[in-house]
Amino acid sequence: MFEQPKSAISAPAQLSRRFARQCQASTTVEFGLLAAPFVALIFAILQTAIVFFAGQSLETAAATASRLILTGQAQTAGWSASQFKQQVCNAITGMFGCQSGVYVDVETYSSFAAVNLGMPVSNGSFDSANLGYNPGGPGDIVVVRLYYKYPVYVDLFGFNLSSINGGYNLLAATAVFKNEPYASS
């Protein structure tokens, strides 16, 4: 069997064989390949946790503020929409800017079947034009909804994680109840 002398093997072939046999930098290469998806996944997990926390904070504020209407405290005190919103902001823990970012909608309905729970989104944009403040009177059915446009910071692997235009998730918290028969004064 004829064997070529070492000097007869071309220089590029020698380099490629030497490169293939080397495994000292394999950990660095593997880390480089896996680091970006790993970091993106960690940020997506953190963002999801923060969004869930923000949603829970909004739900707690809706329940706390709704109790003020349910018991007639807001109506007997004669609170305006901005005064009620201040009570909502007092119930929200420091998760987001309440005065500029939280939208409050309080509506009265004739029956539970008539309640409209549709989201105020039109063509992918949040529509705050039809939000109102009508806390009703004793025995009225009331819906209190709080909205917040929460920014999406990490868009994982090109999936569109935002629910409205501009890269935002629309967080909503809703309370539906019948006002107690409080003494209106």
- Assigned domain for 118 exists: yes
Asked if pLDDT for residue 123 goes beyond 90, the answer is no
**pLDDT of 98 over the 60 cut:** yes
The answer to the question of residue 45 being in a domain is: yes
* Ramachandran quadrant class, 157 (left: phi over 0; alpha: psi -120 to 50; beta: rest): left
CA distance 184 to 165: 43
Report the percentage of the chain scoring pLDDT > 90.
40
How far is 153 from 135, CA to CA, in rounded Å? 36
Task: Give the position of tokens 């495994």.
Answer: 23
Chain segment 24-52, per-residue pLDDT in tens: 677 788 888 888 888 888 887 888 888 88
Pairing of strands 168-178, 141-151: antiparallel
* Euclidean distance between CA atoms 26 and 47, whole angstroms: 32
The helix/strand/coil state of 94 is coil
pLDDT, tens digit, 9 for 90 and up, residues 45-69: 888 888 888 889 999 999 999 999 9
* Strand 125-126 versus strand 102-109 pairing type: unpaired
Assess contact for 176 and 146: CB atoms under 8 A: no
Q: Is residue 91 part of a domain?
A: yes
Query: What is the reported pLDDT for 1?
Result: 56
Domain presence at residue 2: no
> Over 80: is that where the pLDDT of 127 sits?
yes
Residue 185 within any structural domain of the chain: no
CA gap 60, 52 in Å, rounded = 12
| Structural domain count of the chain | 1
Asked if the model's pLDDT at residue 114 lies above 60, the reply is: yes
What was the pLDDT predicted at 7? 55
Q: Is residue 169 part of a domain?
A: yes
Residue 129 lies in a domain: yes
Answer yes or no: is 89 within a domain: yes
Phi, psi for 159 (deg, rounded to 5): -75, 140
For 148, the domain range is 11-178
